[in-house]
Amino acid sequence: MRSEIISVATGSRERVHDITSECAAFVRAEGDGLLHVFVPHATAGVALLELGSGSDDDLLAALGDLLPADDRWRHAHGSRGHGRSHVMPAIIPPYATIPVLDGRMALGTWQSVALVDLNVDNPQRQVRLSFLSD
């Protein structure tokens, strides 16, 4: 298995960050196998969805409805509503596994790989890309 960590600057606001090109570059020289994308953080997730058409904003809005940034959370350090960031990975998991065929991710036509980060207290993230060959 080949593995590499990439750094992603998510900034100080909620973010759906497209990492599709980094994932594609990582598997480009490979044959068939599986790409595993993992975020080693308790407050971030990985999603496969259409980006750039408003879906990323829709996802953030839906997460805002499901997990409001208010004072209801028992896990209450950091910015207001920080506890919801610790609940989010139960909804948006911190990983995704994608088939790779002849060095290309076998994503659907409109699918992209995205890092989802609601934690405004941590502007730098790491993502581990691992390739398991056939």
> pLDDT (tens digit, 9 = 90+) per residue, 16-60?
999 999 999 999 999 999 999 999 998 999 999 999 899 999 999
Cα dihedral 27/58/40/28 (nearest 10): 0
The predicted model scores a pTM of 0.93
Separation of alpha carbons 39 and 44, rounded Å = 7
For residues 122-128, average pLDDT:
93
Show the domain range for 60.
Answer: 2-132
Mean pLDDT of all residues in 69-90: 82
Exposure string of 52-74, with b = 16+ CB inside 10 Å and e = fewer, is eeebbeebbeebeeebebeeebe
Question: Averaged over 60-76, what is the pLDDT?
Answer: 88
Give residues with Cβ within 8 angstroms of 79, minimum separation 6: 69, 120, 121
Q: What is the pLDDT of residue 5?
A: 98
Please name which of 6, 21, 13 lies closest in space to residue 112, comparing C-alpha atoms.
21
pLDDT grade for 120, boundaries at 50, 70 and 90: confident
- What domain count does the chain have? 1
What is the DSSP annotation of the chain?
Answer: -EEEEEEEE-TTS-EEEE-HHHHHHHHTT--SEEEEEE---TTEEEEEE--SSSHHHHHHHHHHHHS-SSTT-SS--SSTTHHHHHHGGGTS-SEEEEEEETTEE---TT-EEEEEE--TT--EEEEEEEEEE-
Where residue 80 sits, what CATH number does that domain have?
Answer: 2.60.120.460
